[in-house]
C-alpha cells in the first residue's frame, strides 16, 4: 500500500505577505489586484480576514465592507513563485516523487521514505516544521493511499484541525468522508451538486451507494469517476512528468478599459498571438487549431464568443495565427465593447517535423524569423523587440512585461 501526501500552503499569497511584513501578523490581510485596473478581486485572504466572511474570488469592495480595517496588499507573483520553488526543494529532501498540483499544492509519494524518516505522521510533522522555519508559511497535509484520498483528507479535515494533518483511510470512509455533504467531494461543483441533489443524493455516502451503472448511464465516464472518487479509488501515480506533453498553449488578458474600436482590439490580438507563438516556439511545437475567446464589457448581460478554426498546416509564426484570429473576430464580433481577449493554439506537433510545401518556398525563412526574434528578446529582454502597434495607447506589451500570470512581479 502506498503513502501519498497532499501538501497545501495555508492562505499562501497572504502568508508570504505576512512573512514579509511581520507587523501585520495580527491584522486581517488580503492579497488583491488593483481595482482601478478591473482586477480588484481577492486572490488570497488570511485566516483573520476569513473570520469576517471574506472569501477568495469576491470583489475587493465587497470584502472591504465586511472588514473595515482590512489591509490590502497587491500581489507579487515572482515572490510567490520563488517561495513555491523553495518549498518544492524542501519536499524533495524526503522523496524524489513530488508532483506540483498548483502553486500552493503538491503531491508526494513517501512510500519508500518511511524507513529513513519515520511514520507518515512523523514525516508530515517534519515537513511542516521545515517549511515554517524556512518560509513562515503553514503547511496542511492530507495523507492517503492514493492521490484522491490525500486531496480530500487535506481539503475536508487537515485544514480544519489543529495539527493540520489528517490520514484518510479507505476502510474508515463510512465514518469520516461519507457523512459529509456531497459538494465536499473533490470533483463535485455547484452544478453537479444540484444534479445529484435532484437525484436524492445529499451526502458522499449516498453517492457511494448509487449503482455504478446508473451513474455511467447518466454521465458516462464522468459517472465512473464520481463513483470511484466516492469510494476513494484512484489509480493515477504521483509523477514528475504530469505536465509533460502539453496539449494547448494559450494566453488571455483582461483589458485595462473597455476597448471599442477595431483598431485598438487588433493591437491586443496581435500581442496575444505574439505571446502564444513565442511560447510555442520555446516549447518546440507548432499548432494547427487556433481559438479566440472574447468577453463583452457588461457583467449583467454576458456577451462575447469562443470560436476556433483549423489551419491548412501547423505553424508557430505570429502573423499566420493573427490572420486566423482576425478572421474569426471579424466574423463573430457583435460590435459591442470588449473587456477580455484570449488566444490559444491546439492540435500541437513538434516543430522538428515540417510537411514540405511546393507552393510556399519562403516558409522556412518565415518560421525562422520567429526564433531569431526570440533569441533577441531572451538576451535583451521581452520588450527589446516589439511591434510598432504596441507603442500606441492600446498596446499592452510593456505593461504585460511587468507581470507574471496576469499580476505584477
Shared domain for 203 and 255, answered yes or no, is no
Is 8 annotated as ligand-binding?
A: yes
Residue numbers of the chain with a pLDDT score lower than 50: none
> How confident is the model at residue 224, as a pLDDT?
95
Shared domain for 31 and 65, answered yes or no, is yes
* Cα 90 to Cα 130: distance, rounded to the nearest angstrom: 7
> How confident is the model at residue 357, as a pLDDT?
61
> How confident is the model at residue 243, as a pLDDT?
59
Q: Which residues of 161-189 are buried (b: 16+ CB within 10 A; e: fewer)?
A: eeebbbbbeeeebeebbbeeebbebbebe
Question: Does residue 71 lie within any of the structural domains?
Answer: yes
Shared domain for 264 and 119, answered yes or no, is no
Shared domain for 20 and 150, answered yes or no, is yes
Shared domain for 23 and 134, answered yes or no, is yes
Shared domain for 252 and 225, answered yes or no, is no
Pairing of strands 71-73, 338-350: unpaired
Structure confidence by residue, pLDDT tens digits, 294-353:
998 776 677 889 999 999 889 999 999 999 999 999 999 999 999 999 999 999 888 876
Question: Does residue 175 lie within any of the structural domains?
Answer: no
> How confident is the model at residue 36, as a pLDDT?
61
Q: Domain count of the chain?
A: 3
**CB-based contact 10:140 (threshold 8 Å):** yes
> How confident is the model at residue 402, as a pLDDT?
75
Question: Does residue 237 lie within any of the structural domains?
Answer: no
321 contacts: CB under 8 Å, gap ≥ 6: 273, 276, 277, 287, 290, 315, 343, 345
Question: Does residue 327 lie within any of the structural domains?
Answer: yes
Supply the CATH number for residue 368's domain: 3.30.1490.100
> How confident is the model at residue 363, as a pLDDT?
67
Supply the CATH number for residue 68's domain: 3.30.70.270
Which residues carry out catalysis?
A: 105
Shared domain for 148 and 271, answered yes or no, is no
Q: Which residues pair with 29 in a beta bridge?
A: 71
Shared domain for 192 and 334, answered yes or no, is no
Question: Does residue 240 lie within any of the structural domains?
Answer: no
Q: Residue 335 — left, alpha, or beta (φ > 0 → left; ψ -120 to 50 → alpha)?
A: left
**By residue range, what is the domain housing residue 25?**
1-168
Q: What is the H or E stretch that residue 305 is in?
A: strand 304-315
> How confident is the model at residue 368, as a pLDDT?
83
Shared domain for 221 and 145, answered yes or no, is no
Shared domain for 156 and 16, answered yes or no, is yes
Amino acid at each position: 500500500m502506498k503513502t501519498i501526501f497532499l501538501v497545501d500552503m495555508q492562505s499562501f499569497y497572504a502568508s508570504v505577505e505576512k512573512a514579509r511584513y511581520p507587523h501585520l501578523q495580527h491584522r486581517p490581510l488580503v492579497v488583491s489586484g488593483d481595482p482601478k485596473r478591473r482586477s480588484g478581486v481577492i486572490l488570497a485572504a488570511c485566516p483573520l480576514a476569513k473570520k469576517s466572511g471574506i472569501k477568495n474570488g469576491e470583489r475587493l469592495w465587497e470584502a472591504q465592507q465586511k472588514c473595515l480595517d482590512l489591509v490590502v496588499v497587491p500581489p507579487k507573483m515572482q515572490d510567490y513563485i520563488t517561495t513555491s520553488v523553495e518549498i518544492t526543494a524542501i519536499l524533495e529532501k524526503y522523496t524524489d516523487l513530488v508532483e506540483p498540483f498548483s502553486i500552493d499544492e503538491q503531491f508526494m509519494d513517501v512510500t519508500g521514505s518511511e524507513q529513513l524518516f519515520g511514520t507518515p505522521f512523523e514525516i508530515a510533522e517534519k515537513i511542516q516544521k521545515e517549511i515554517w522555519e524556512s518560509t513562515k508559511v503553514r503547511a496542511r497535509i492530507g495523507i492517503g493511499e492514493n492521490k484522491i484520498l490525500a486531496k480530500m483528507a487535506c481539503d475536508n479535515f487537515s485544514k480544519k484541525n489543529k495539527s493540520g494533518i489528517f490520514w484518510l483511510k479507505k476502510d474508515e470512509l463510512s465514518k469520516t468522508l461519507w457523512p459529509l455533504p456531497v459538494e465536499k467531494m473533490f470533483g463535485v461543483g455547484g452544478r453537479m451538486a444540484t444534479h445529484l441533489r435532484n437525484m436524492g443524493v445529499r451526502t458522499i455516502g449516498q453517492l457511494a451507494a448509487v449503482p455504478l451503472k446508473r451513474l455511467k448511464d447518466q454521465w458516462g465516464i464522468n459517472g465512473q469517476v464520481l463513483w470511484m472518487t466516492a469510494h476513494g479509488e484512484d489509480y493515477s501515480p504521483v509523477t514528475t512528468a504530469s505536465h509533460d506533453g502539453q496539449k494547448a498553449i494559450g494566453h488571455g488578458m483582461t483589458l485595462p478599459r473597455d476597448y471599442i474600436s477595431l483598431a485598438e482590439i487588433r493591437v491586443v490580438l496581435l500581442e496575444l498571438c505574439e505571446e502564444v507563438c513565442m511560447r510555442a516556439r520555446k516549447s518546440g511545437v507548432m499548432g494547427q487549431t487556433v481559438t479566440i475567446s472574447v468577453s463583452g464589457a457588461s457583467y449583467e448581460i454576458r456577451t462575447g464568443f469562443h470560436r476556433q478554426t483549423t489551419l491548412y498546416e501547423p505553424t508557430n509564426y505570429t502573423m499566420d495565427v493573427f490572420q486566423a484570429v482576425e478572421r474569426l473576430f471579424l466574423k463573430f464580433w457583435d460590435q459591442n465593447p470588449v473587456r477580455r481577449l484570449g488566444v490559444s493554439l491546439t492540435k500541437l506537433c513538434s516543430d522538428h517535423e515540417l510537411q514540405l510545401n511546393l507552393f510556399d518556398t519562403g516558409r522556412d525563412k518565415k518560421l525562422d524569423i520567429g526564433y531569431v526574434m526570440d533569441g533577441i528578446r531572451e538576451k535583451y529582454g521581452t520588450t527589446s523587440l516589439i511591434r510598432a502597434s504596441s507603442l500606441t495607447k492600446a498596446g499592452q506589451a510593456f505593461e504585460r512585461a511587468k507581470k507574471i500570470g496576469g499580476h505584477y512581479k
